[in-house]
Amino acid sequence: MKKAWQFLNGNKTIICFTAVTALEQAARVGWIDGNSSGVRFSIGICIALGGLSLGHHAKKGYFTTKK
């Protein structure tokens, strides 16, 4: 998991939140069952991982004017 996380470095937030959007839109148009526990679980995991990666960016100081 650590190697995969490092491989995705810099893109984790974008990938996770894009996956959330894609899953929610697919459920909205009826391509997948949005009420299934698997879809809800996948969306929750993507939100959690995206939030953690966003927090990691903040911890590293990416959102400050000082570099």
- Domains held by the chain: number: 1
Q: What integer is the mean pLDDT of 15-44?
A: 90
Q: What integer is the mean pLDDT of 26-43?
A: 89
2 in a structural domain: no
pLDDT reading at 4 higher than 90? no
pLDDT reading at 47 higher than 60? yes
The answer to whether 57 touches 63, Cβ cutoff 8 Å, is yes
- DSSP annotation of 30 reads T
65 in a structural domain: no
20 in a structural domain: yes
C-alpha radius of gyration, the chain, whole number: 14
pLDDT reading at 41 higher than 90? yes
Q: In this predicted structure, what is the pLDDT of residue 48?
A: 92
- DSSP annotation of 67 reads -
pLDDT reading at 26 higher than 80? yes
